[in-house]
Structure 1
Amino acid sequence: MAFEMDDDAFADAVERALDEIPPQLREMMDNVAIFIEDRYEPGPHEDPDTVLLGLYDGVPLTERGMDWGDVPMPDRIFIYQEPILQMCDSEEEVIDEVTITMVHEVAHHFGIDDATLHELGWG
């Protein structure tokens, strides 16, 4: 059963999750935009049943070379509201899942892959 939460409350949960990122790391995220979307829409060559809780879209800091532009387009982190609410039964669970998802996507920005996240207990 999905937990019902209005958009403002969900946005507050995303803000709280972002606040959980240590300040020194947040400062290094000066060109990252965070978006809340209803759900992930798979591309034409993807499994139409793909469900994501979040997505990092950008070039990880570890892959940027000296030729990286002066003002590159911002990296983007998407947090998908509907699948998170579908898997949660309480506001506390939503906040926990949003936090886990945010940490996961921010880690990708810093070049940490899924395998390493799993080893660290974040997946």
Structure 2
Amino acid sequence: MSSDNHDERSETALDISEDAFAALVEEVLAQLPESMLENIDNVAIFVAEEPEDGSDLLGLYEGVDLTERDDYGFGDLPDQITLFRLPLLRMCADVDELRREIQVTIVHEVAHHFGIDDDQLHELGWA
């Protein structure tokens, strides 16, 4: 699949509605370990169709990771994790694979929130 051909990039292996995708995200979040969830601080999770740059990025963490926070607190806007629906749909052949990729992507982006960089994620098998 060519990354510069928009028509090919628009095709997905799965036909999952935005609502069904959001429900899968909620399902995955509910199954994450409590020890992970209790340490997430002031993070909002969103779903967008595509990254603005047109890449095949699956997820994006935007914010100040926990290791870099000094005077962070009341009144600060939440950090954001964005999952990109169409790139995830393009890479998955079935709903079970999609559920796994959503989980991997969420864990990957939450790890960035915890201050874990991509090199460490590769070592841990989450990149």
Normalising by structure 2, we get a TM-score of: 0.84
Shift of 1:72: 1.2
Aligned to 2:74, the other structure's residue is in SS state coil
The equivalent position to 2:68 in structure 1, one of 63, 71, 93, is 63
Percent identity between the aligned chains?
50
Q: What SS class does the counterpart of residue 25 from structure 1 fall into?
A: helix
Structure with bigger RCO (C-alpha 8 Å, 6+ apart): 1
How many residues align structurally? Answer: 116
Q: Which one of 67, 73, 86 corresponds to residue 90 of structure 2? A: 86
Where in structure 1 do 4 or more consecutive aligned residues deviate above 6 Å? none
The CA RMSD measured in Å over matched residues stands at: 1.4
Deviation of the 1:69 alpha carbon = 4.0
- 1:16 equivalent in alignment to 2:27: yes
- Are the aligned partners of 1:77 and 1:105 in contact in 2 as well (CA < 8 Å)? yes
Residue segments in structure 1 that go unaligned for 5+ positions in a row: 43-48
Aligned residue runs from structure 1 range 104-119, under 5 A: 104-119=108-123
> CA offsets, 1:7-65, max 9 Å, x none?
122112111221232213212224110000001002xxxxxx52210000100001112
> TM-score w.r.t. structure 1 length?
0.87
The aligned amino acid for 1:21 is L
Contact 1:3–1:85 (8 Å) recurs in 2: yes
Unaligned runs of 5+ in 2: 1-11
